[in-house]
């Protein structure tokens, strides 16, 4: 089956639980072509992205990838993105799908104000597909298609020609497992999909992608990141480099850092198989302290898990309750990830 009709990721192919377990135990392939792809190129490209993003690209180099945030002036996270530094003045930015157009507009303005007018910004989302091969056997199975596709190490980037198609490949992903993401020209996407499936990679859909990322405590834009949410509140202060110089949203974020956050993202492990969902109320000692931002059943742990913003004084190990369809269900506050590489 070729999934590229309109590039909408299906919820599942054979079943969320089976696909989830296949990723944790073997290897799967996701069609994540809905993600954006924006080139920032030219002599002012680096300066443009240094101001646009919270992380410091000078901490990496050509041939590397980096996770970062693009903030609004009030420091809320407009988008969380991956940057692939492909060439000296060629950087590929991967935003979330719905944020591609706003990010392009913002980068174009910053290219003029901070890139000296020497950077071009181009949305190339429609010209390529993206396949994410993830799981402990991902590289071994992908090597059966082409050794070069499987070669880049974690957060490394390489250009690879596969059957005449000029691809970009990086050791990145959204599951907590080892893996590779491949940008392939749209014309070559069906052929590559067929090749990786024939190599034993299990097709997986949006349902498994969500349970996998939730087990790792990875944020989802619109849930743990977005309007009103800063990197510090989301527990992602490591993605902010205050020592690099100015960046968009810095002043407001510094104020929050100095004053202290008023809420912090925590995890919740449910006592049983009940499934917490977004906006379910969370209480401690009968007092409301927040609500679920993301929740689901964890196939690995065999119980419900959730993320929620709570007062920063709430410590891991605290007993809590989640209102699941009008019934208080016991849970325990934890620090994500829910599943570690050592403990899975």
CATH code at position 89: 3.30.70.1400
SS3 61: coil
Specify the residue for token string 């709430």.
Answer: 314
Last residue of a domain, one of 58, 91, 123: 123
SS3 323: strand
Does 191 lie in the same domain as 321? Answer: no
Q: Which residue has the higher pLDDT, 334 or 2?
A: 334
Q: Which two tokens stand for residue 255?
A: 């104020």
Is 242 among the domain residues?
no
The mean pLDDT value for 45-68 works out to: 98
**Residue 304's domain spans which residues?**
262-334
Please state whether the peptide bond connecting residue 337 to the residue before it is cis, i.e. omega within 30 degrees of 0.
yes
Q: What pLDDT is attached to residue 342?
A: 60
Confidence band for 192, pLDDT divided at 50, 70 and 90 = very high
Is 4 among the domain residues?
no
Last residue of a domain, one of 96, 123, 150: 123
**Residue 2 in this model has a pLDDT that exceeds 50:** no
Does 106 lie in the same domain as 169? Answer: no
Confidence band for 8, pLDDT divided at 50, 70 and 90 = low
The mean pLDDT value for 94-102 works out to: 93
The mean pLDDT value for 89-93 works out to: 98
pTM of the model: 0.95
Alpha helices for the chain (secondary structure H): 16-25, 45-52, 100-113, 138-143, 147-150, 189-198, 206-215, 250-259
**Residue 38 in this model has a pLDDT that exceeds 80:** yes
Confidence band for 234, pLDDT divided at 50, 70 and 90 = very high
Interacting residues of 332 by C-beta distance below 8 A, sequence separation 6+: 268, 269, 271, 317, 318, 319, 320
**Residue 114 in this model has a pLDDT that exceeds 60:** yes
The mean pLDDT value for 267-280 works out to: 97
In whole angstroms, give the CA distance from residue 63 to residue 65: 7
Spell out where 117-164 has E strands. Answer: 120-123, 128-134, 157-162
The mean pLDDT value for 266-294 works out to: 97
Q: What pLDDT is attached to residue 341?
A: 66
**Residue 296 in this model has a pLDDT that exceeds 60:** yes
Q: What pLDDT is attached to residue 9?
A: 79
Closest CA to 244 of 56, 48, 62: 56
The mean pLDDT value for 285-314 works out to: 98
Cβ pair 3, 194 in contact under 8 A: no
CATH code at position 185: 3.30.1360.120
In whole angstroms, give the CA distance from residue 19 to residue 109: 42
Q: Which two tokens stand for residue 75?
A: 């420091």
**Residue 62 in this model has a pLDDT that exceeds 60:** yes
**Residue 194 in this model has a pLDDT that exceeds 70:** yes
The mean pLDDT value for 107-117 works out to: 96
Residue 297 CA to chain centroid, in angstroms? 20
Is 20 among the domain residues?
yes
Q: Which two tokens stand for residue 305?
A: 């898990």
Q: What pLDDT is attached to residue 66?
A: 98
In whole angstroms, give the CA distance from residue 3 to residue 1: 6
Cβ pair 193, 142 in contact under 8 A: no
Q: What pLDDT is attached to residue 1?
A: 35
Is 241 among the domain residues?
no
**Residue 63 in this model has a pLDDT that exceeds 70:** yes
Is 245 among the domain residues?
no
Is 1 among the domain residues?
no
**Residue 167 in this model has a pLDDT that exceeds 60:** yes
Longest dimension (CA), the chain: 63
Number of domains in the chain: 3
**Residue 323 in this model has a pLDDT that exceeds 70:** yes
For strands 28-31 and 202-204, give the pairing: parallel
Q: Which two tokens stand for residue 12?
A: 């599942």
The rounded percent of the chain whose pLDDT value lies above 90 is 95
């Amino acid at each position: 089956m070729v999934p590229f009709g309109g590039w909408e990721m299906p919820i599942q192919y054979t079943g969320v639980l089976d696909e989830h377990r296949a990723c944790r135990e073997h290897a799967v392939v996701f069609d994540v072509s809905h993600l954006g792809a924006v080139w920032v190129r030219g002599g002012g490209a680096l300066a443009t992205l240094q101001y646009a993003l919270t992380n410091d690209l000078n901490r990496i180099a050509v041939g590397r990838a980096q996770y970062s945030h693009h903030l609004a002036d009030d420091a809320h996270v407009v988008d969380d993105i991956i940057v692939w530094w492909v060439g000296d003045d060629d950087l590929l930015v991967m935003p979330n799908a719905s944020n591609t157009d706003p990010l392009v507009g913002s980068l174009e303005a910053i290219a003029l104000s901070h890139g000296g007018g020497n950077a071009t910004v181009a949305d190339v989302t429609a010209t390529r597909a993206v396949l994410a091969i993830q799981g402990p056997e991902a590289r071994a199975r992908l090597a059966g298609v082409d050794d070069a596709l499987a070669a880049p190490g974690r957060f490394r980037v390489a250009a690879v020609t596969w059957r005449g198609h000029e691809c970009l490949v990086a050791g990145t992903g959204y599951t907590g497992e080892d893996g590779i993401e491949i940008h392939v020209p749209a014309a070559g996407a069906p052929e590559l999909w067929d090749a990786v499936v024939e190599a034993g990679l299990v097709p997986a859909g949006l349902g498994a992608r969500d349970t996998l990322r939730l087990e790792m405590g990875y944020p989802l834009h619109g849930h743990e990141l977005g309007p009103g949410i800063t990197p510090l509140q989301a527990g992602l202060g490591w993605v902010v480099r205050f020592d690099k110089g100015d960046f968009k949203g810095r002043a407001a974020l510094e104020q929050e850092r100095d004053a202290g956050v008023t809420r912090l993202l925590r995890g919740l492990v449910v006592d049983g198989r009940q499934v917490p969902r977004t906006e379910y109320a969370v209480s401690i000692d009968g007092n409301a302290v927040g609500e679920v931002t993301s929740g689901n059943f964890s196939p690995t742990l065999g119980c419900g898990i959730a993320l929620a913003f709570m007062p920063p004084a709430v410590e891991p190990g605290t007993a809590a309750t989640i209102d699941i369809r009008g019934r208080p269900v016991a849970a325990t506050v934890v620090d994500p990830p829910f599943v570690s590489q050592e403990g899975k």
